Structure 1
Amino acid sequence: MSAALLGTERRTPPVAMRSGQAGAAALLDAAAVSTVRRRAALRPAPAGERPAPAPADPRPPLPPAARRRLSLLLADRGGAGGSSRRGTAPDLTELLPQWLAAADGYGYRAPEALLPELLDAARARTDLRPAALALAGPRALWLARLNDEWKFALRGIGGPAGLPVGDDPEGVRQQWEEGLFAERVALLTALRRHDPPAGLALLATTWPRERAEDRLMFLDSLREDLSAADEPFLERALSDRSRNVRATAAEFLSTLPGSAFAARMAERAHTCIGLDRTSGTTRIVVEAPHECDAAMQRDGVAPKPPSGRGERSWWLGQLVEATPLDSWRERFGGREPAAIVALPVADDWRTELHDAWCRAAVRQQSADWARALLGAPGAPSQTAEVSPAGSSRDLTKLLAVLPGDERARWVAEFIAAHGLSDAFRMLGVCAVPWAEPLGRAVVDALDIARDAGSYPWSFSGVMGLAERCLDPAAADRLDMLTAVTDEPEGASPGSGGYWSEAFQRLVGTLRLRATMRAELMPPPAAPAPAGETGETGRRTP
């Protein structure tokens, strides 16, 4: 070792050397002999048990072009490096989720040789996991049992395949009592979808012994298939030791309009809010609660407000948020939601009251109330109206309550009237690909921004969304925007060239998406060979 570190010219290696052999060669010969001697001294170990073969995956394979495309997308998932300027090349990293979703829609299976890369990609990006594991299928689970880095695939992400639900009650009980936490959550979710009462009964068997954070996660598993049959369990959860569990139980009960909880909250809210006709103009008057008593606290009303909020307004907002929205029709003389929202509110309670109604519309998924609270998107003061000073309402959540086509129209009209500055999060809740009116409104707004002389990276978020969400059929129509235009007076230096580059990337990405979609199309069925059967079923000559 000393001779190797210092060099054979400085230290003669203590090994046998043949006549005329250099010291370095003799040292390497000795190292090779030592290695063989060390290996030969090992005692043979019993052979390990060979793993069972991977299960079959009967789904059709990807078409050859789509297989090559997946290989390229996985190879490029590292991104374009640290450069801030993207150039005109499409961002393949952002197209991978869309490709996976499209491939899953056709029912293909992933190529076996690409399964390790696909699992590595899903390990690095949690947003890819459901679609990646669905494409990978049962062989991904087989591989995950052999590699600790892929254990995430065994945690129920991507569907309940292989979980003991249905006709295996003993398997369900054993998995519930002995499984890892993530496996138990996946089991409860799958069982609730298959048989909601059975899932609730299973949860009840161990509920008192679960940790508070686990109870919260298990309770959240009831959200998807919530029904009146869950009300007794949720009522008991209102007395839970954990404040978060109590709050979640109260939220779920408020989505059941016929529940006793909803009736209690409506009674409290109606005593605080009513109509005043004595002033000559019909208006809403508000008298917020003066205390948060024990009964209110049991029903999930948090007594201590966050910093900057008054106690009474905090209590009022929670009561209104949990009150069934349909009850306000009767309270306000049969008025429809739009007419109720249009009523003036006395003493500056309008923002607080409307914010609470917004949260209730989202919680109860009421399109009528969401539509009324959003109002007309093209109104000149709409931006200030939907998010007034001091408001806590989330406009995107309200939009998500509307049907997809109506949501796209609303956002398109909003962009046409107010531009893109307040529209980024709205675009994120619109269905992909964007409907024609929405796509046209986004492109027109980007074109206007270019004409104003802004830099394109001021709109990089919207441009990135457009690359992924515009209909690929719009590529040819957008070709005219790729030319370098004259910069207007006062424009940012070089903005014309940057915009041309950005639109070239947009058009190139749209065309690539169209190509990717065509590559996934199943091959056409082959025609019957000549000489087989004709229309009459007889053999043709």
Structure 2
Amino acid sequence: MTITEHTAPAWEELVSAALLGTTRRRPPIEVGAEPVDPAGALLDAAAVATVRRRAGLRPARSAPRPAVAPDDPRPLPPPAARSRLRDLLNDRTHHGGSGGGRRGAAPSLAELLPQWLAAAGRYGYRAPDAVLPDLLDAARARTDLRSDALALAGPRALWLAELNPEWKFALRSGNRGAAGDAAADPRAAQRLWDEGLFAERVALLTRIRERDPAAGLALLSGTWAKERAEDRLLFLDALRTGLGPDDEPFLEQALTDRSRNVRATAAELLSALPGSALSHRMTERALACVALDRTGVGPRIVVEAPHACDAAMERDGVTATPPPGRGERSWWLGQLVEGAPLAIWRDRFGGRTPEQIAALEVADDWQPDLHAAWCRAAVRQRDARWARALLGPPPVPAGAVAAVGDPAKLLSVLPEDERAVWVAEFIAGHGLSEAFQLLGACAVPWAEPLGRAVVDALDIAREAGSYPWSFSGVMGLAERCLDPGLAERLEPLTATAEDGSNASPGSGAYWSEAFQRLVTTLRLRAAMLQELAG
């Protein structure tokens, strides 16, 4: 068979014949009288066409070589820890979420990856070069990994991101190392502020505020009028670092910003400055609405909510329009009380402590609105004594669970040990069904009394004969948050118990699987920490 320039078939015709098969479509080539294998003829024609296509290409101008990857002087993890990281990255797409709803006793290595990254970051390690592509792929797929993954990957992750569009998110996430270096050099800081990516500028502003709040404010003030509204909001939020009286004039000016979110954030920051003019204005408004009435049988709080929201209130961050289903006056009252310093209420109520104030009767059914506003103020102002007073002791089993406020947010204001004890007592009285959000507010790993309370409650649920899927969220948290030292204590619960008369069918086997997975995960976490420690 001879193929000439005039008889050569088009490349698309060859591909079509190959896809359909030579028995269904004869190759579009001319053959002589001798018998020819159609498949062989097709391959011969494709080989000739390939040479012709390549020979016809014009040489292209070579692209410039990439810059040399930057150096990362941080130490590598120990060999066993590096091997573990490869296993975690290879397994990340093979398993779903964790918790009692996942079947089987094998742990989810994908759920252990965030913990490995966080622990490696505490040791100051860098990622091995060979795993950087897999690490960036993992961070692209899971936003919860990005901060720790990019910190571990270091400057070489940004170098790779410049070469692969799929990793551009790393450039948007900012270069914390570059921000740290530039923060110590005014010229470098100004250059990065003028030319850097948005995330790099936010990181730079935060780092400068840690060292010199006034210098950070000056940097922001110089370009404030040119920034986009969404950028101004995040830049303003960065002023929480090093917030002080010197920031007040700038924040007062931000109260007139054209963006409602920027105005609200400026008002929130000003309300956190006890001596600010806005703080005094909110104090006057709140005191005009809330007073102590001594004319009855006992002292009680009386409330006169505002009848209108004027322009001055709106300028100070009060939103005029309430959400659906909320009355205007209660909505305005809550914002005024939330924005006022909590310290004002001691004098207002005759020197009473927060605990005594929280215990006072509130007239005319205003207690839920007033206490909810105090809860938000305690969280905003990070006032542990007010948070403790409003939270109170864990409610008894027959009592209501936190009628107002957000217990999880109030708990976040308290010291870590106190949080753990409060939630442990809550679980002992109420079980786990209402404790999921409270557990999320506790420090990891859970302190001993909290871990013990969770294990005891899970054991009680197992004895009751329900399925573990009802506690999948708590099981997932336990895998990530329980102290690995509790693995031995949990070992007896991995045995398959016989189903009781009132138990759900097969529940004993399912609980056995869930506890086996929990124990195995805890032991893996312990091994990971030991490997990272070398």
Compared CA separation, residues 179 and 457, structure 1 to 2 (3 A): same
Does residue 111 (structure 1) correspond to residue 123 (structure 2)? The answer is no
Cα distance between partner residues in 1 of 2:32 and 2:243: 83
CA contact (8 A) 2:105 2:517 kept: yes
Paired AA for residue 33 in structure 1: V
The alpha carbon displacement at 1:287 in A equals 1.3
Identical counterparts, % of pairs: 69
Give the Å deviation of 1:224: 2.7
Which of the numbers 484, 500, 503 marks the counterpart of 2:512?
A: 500
User: CA 1:30/1:486 → structure 2, altered by over 3 Å: closer, same or farther?
Assistant: closer
Of 98, 101, 124, which residue of structure 1 is paired with 2:141?
124
- Cα deviation for residue 412 of structure 1 reads 0.5
For 2:469, give the aligned amino acid.
Answer: W
> 1:337: which partner in 2?
354
Structure 2 residue matching 1:274: 3-state secondary structure: strand
Q: 1:292 is matched by which residue type in structure 2?
A: C
> Secondary structure of the equivalent of 1:161?
helix
Aligned residue pairs total 517
Answering whether residue 311 of structure 2 is matched by residue 294 of structure 1, we say yes
Give the Cα–Cα distance (whole angstroms) in 1 for the partners of residues 24 and 33 of structure 2: 17
Structure 2 partner of 1:67: 82
Contact 2:174–2:200 at 8 Å: present in 1 too? no
Residue 34 of structure 1 corresponds to: 49
Runs of 5+ consecutive residues of structure 2 not aligned to the other structure: 1-12
Q: What is the alpha-carbon distance in structure 2 between the residues aligned to residue 308 and residue 263 of structure 1? A: 31
Aligned position for 2:3: none
AA in 2 matched with 1:433: P
Cα 1:109–1:279, aligned 2, differ >3 Å: closer, same or farther?
A: same
Conserved? CA contact 1:411–1:438, under 8 Å: yes
Higher relative contact order (CA 8 A, sep 6+): 2
Q: CA deviation at 1:208?
A: 2.5
Deviations 1:1-47, CA, capped at 9 Å, x for gaps: 26655627863642567966523223312221221222123232333
Q: Judging changes above 3 Å, is the alpha-carbon distance between structure 1 residues 21 and 105 closer, same or farther for their aligned structure 2 residues?
A: same
How much has 1:125 moved relative to structure 2? 0.9
Tell me the TM-score normalized by structure 2: 0.91
Q: 1:418 to 1:48 in 2, by over 3 A?
A: same
**Residue 513 (1) aligns with residue 525 (2):** yes
- Report the alpha carbon displacement of residue 110 of structure 1 after superposing the two structures with TM: 1.1
Taking a change above 3 Å as real, the CA distance of residues 17 and 36 of structure 1, as seen in their structure-2 partners, is farther
The answer for the alignment partner of 1:145 in structure 2 is 162
Residue 349 of structure 1 corresponds to which residue in structure 2?
A: 366
**Structure 1 unaligned residues grouped into runs of 5+:** 523-541
The answer to whether 1:244 aligns with 2:256 is no
1:185 corresponds to:
202
Match of 1:24 in 2: 39
Asked if 1:470 corresponds to 2:470, the answer is no
* 1:481 shift after superposition: 0.8
Q: Partners of 2:54 and 2:128 in 1: how far apart?
A: 38
Q: Does 1:54 align with 2:69?
A: yes
State the match for 1:326 in structure 2.
343
Residue 404 of structure 1 aligns with which residue? 416
**Partners of 1:183 and 1:157 in 2: how far apart?**
4
Q: Which residue of structure 2 lines up, in the alignment, with residue 284 of structure 1?
A: 301
**1:167 Cα offset (Å):** 5.2
Show the counterpart of 1:439: 451
1:187 to partner: Cα distance: 3.3
Letter in 1 for 2:482: L
Q: Displaced runs of 4+ in structure 1, greater than 4 A?
A: 2-6, 15-21, 81-85
Aligned to 2:9: none
Deviating more after overlay: 375-384 vs 460-469: 375-384
Distance in structure 2 (CA, Å) of the matches to 1:270 and 1:9 = 89
Measure how far apart 1:210 and its partner are.
2.9
Work out whether residues 136 and 149 of structure 2, in 8 Å CA contact, stay in contact via their aligned partners in 1: yes
Secondary structure in 1 matching 2:252: helix
What secondary structure does 1:363 align onto?
A: helix
Distance 1:101 1:502 in 2: 25
Partners in 1 of 2:328 and 2:527 — Cα distance? 58
| Residues 290-346 of structure 1: per-residue CA shift (max 9 Å, x gap) | 222222222111222222111111111111001101111111111111111111111
**1:536 aligned residue:** none
Deviations 1:468-521 (A, max 9, x none): 111111111111111122323322111111111111111111111111111112
Deviations 1:407-444 (CA, angstroms, capped at 9, x unpaired): 11110011011111111011111111111000000011
Shift of 1:348: 1.0
User: Could you say which residue in structure 2 is the equivalent of 1:395?
Assistant: 407
From 353, 366, 370, give the equivalent of 2:387.
Answer: 370
* RMSD (CA atoms): 2.2
Letter paired with 1:38: R
Over 3 Å counting, the alpha-carbon distance change for 1:180 and 1:18 in structure 2 is farther
- Describe the superposition over 1:178-212 as per-residue Cα deviations: whole angstroms up to 9, x where unpaired: 44444433333333334322222222222223333
One-letter amino acid of the counterpart of residue 444, structure 1: D
How far has the Cα of 1:453 moved from its partner?
1.4
Kept in 2, the 8 Å contact 1:74–1:121? The answer is yes
- How has the CA–CA distance of structure 1 residues 23 and 492 changed in structure 2, closer, same or farther, with 3 Å as cutoff? closer
Alignment match, 1:254: 271
In 1, the alpha carbon distance for the partners of 2:367 and 2:257 equals: 34
Q: 1:142 to 1:420 in 2, by over 3 A?
A: same
CA contact (8 A) 2:176 2:200 kept: no
Report the AA paired with residue 261 of structure 1.
L
Greater alpha carbon shift after TM alignment, 115-124 vs 24-33: 24-33
| Higher deviation after alignment, 237-246 or 506-515 | 237-246
Cα separation, 1, equivalents of 2:25 and 2:141: 50
Contact 1:185 1:221 in 2 (8 A): yes
Do the aligned partners of 2:214 and 2:246 also contact (CA within 8 Å) in 1? Answer: yes
Q: Please state whether the residue corresponding to 1:275 is helix, strand or coil.
A: strand
CA distance in 2 between counterparts of 1:61 and 1:333 reads 61
Q: Quick one: distance in 1 between partners of 2:450 and 2:96?
A: 32
